[in-house]
A and B are shown apart, each in its own frame.
Chain A
């Protein structure tokens, strides 16, 4: 702190030297310094703004019968592959729309569009997650019709997206068997926030030491209510329970 008036300006960089002009233009004069300080109680959640947008989205989804799922996983767990396989299985039975969140590129949206389903790509740049404000705009510009399934693929990241409610009905966490069965314990926030865990790439189980029971036990320690499905997004015949889950929700 500045030794003369305690205004904290000693942290100013050398480019902006702190001059002690005691004239009227000095934005924090000594009179204000000693008499003008006051306490303001805020008592507000840091995420209040995001949560407000999320609540708006949730109401919009409810009013329009839109079933929104927020897919989260570490990079490469198979979210896009799962979405493409799901679309191919369901696109003739139910309207489906996809929002793709990635830091860079349109590659995932292009993979979705190749199925004939509309997809909107959001590039989050430096941000490592989608937020509820992004989703509100995306839903308007995609013109998602009533009673559709809205799949939101979040940025591949097992940490940050857990804090940001998008207004979805459920978070679905995808964990692939090549990542290790200890991931629920290492990234507990995500497994606490999710309602469904999909263990993906089970075709690769013979090549890993992934212990499915151990993984489920870890996930249930954090979230006793979490539902679990096992499948291979690359093998159609393993998708039955997942398609059934979607049917029932």
Chain B
């Protein structure tokens, strides 16, 4: 389950930030997860408590902001909302929509003490 590896790198970032920004405890972690990224929000929530145990973010609240998938149609050049990587263009029906947004997984911000 790669959600665990991803959360471990989130924890590493929290630890680095704690040194750089001088905080001891994390109360809230806000992640932006693209609808087309290959992680499950539920799996992240499940893993979060496990990975953050005994860390500076033990008991922190996890907030997940979903970022919609967006692309541009190679044929009609219009913007397309995407729910999956294989959605056809909803204007002209072509496949192969170029993804512009929705694949990323970001740590947006933290509430810290």
Which A residues are closer than 8 A to B by beta carbons? Answer: 8-9, 11-12, 27-28, 32-33, 36-50, 126-129, 131, 159-160, 162-164, 184-185, 188-189, 192, 218, 220-224
Contacts and interface: CB of A to CB of B under 8 A. Distances in A.
A56 B35 CA distance: 29
Contacts of B105: 45-47
Question: What range describes how many residues of B lie at the interface?
Answer: 35 or more
B84 A127 contact: no
Interface string B1-35: 11011100110110001000101110100010000
B106 interface: yes
A221 B95 contact: yes
Interface of B: 1-2, 4-6, 9-10, 12-13, 17, 21, 23-25, 27, 31, 37-39, 59-61, 74, 84-86, 88, 95-96, 99, 104-113
B107 A33 contact: no
Interface of A, helix, strand, loop or mixed by DSSP: mixed
Which of B12, B23, B74 neighbours the largest number of chain A CB atoms within 10 Å of its CB? B23
B109 A32 contact: no
Contacts of A224: 74, 95-96
Contact of B2 (A27, A128, A222): A128
A221 B94 CA distance: 9
Nearest to B31: A46
Which of A33, A46, A159, A220 neighbours the largest number of chain B CB atoms within 10 Å of its CB? A46
A46 B85 contact: no
Nearest to A184: B86
B10 A159 contact: no
A72 to B, nearest CB: 13
Contacts of A49: 9, 12-13
Contact of B86 (A33, A128, A222): A222
Given A28-B113, A46-B107, A192 B85 contact: yes
6 contacts: A8-B61, A28-B113, A37-B113, A40-B112, A126-B4, A159-B38
Contacts of B60: 8
B17 A40 contact: yes
Which of A33, A131, A163 neighbours the largest number of chain B CB atoms within 10 Å of its CB? A163
Contact of B5 (A12, A127, A220): A127
Given A37-B111, A40-B17, A129-B2, A45 B106 contact: yes
A143 to B, nearest CB: 28
A8 B105 CA distance: 26
Contacts of B23: 38, 40
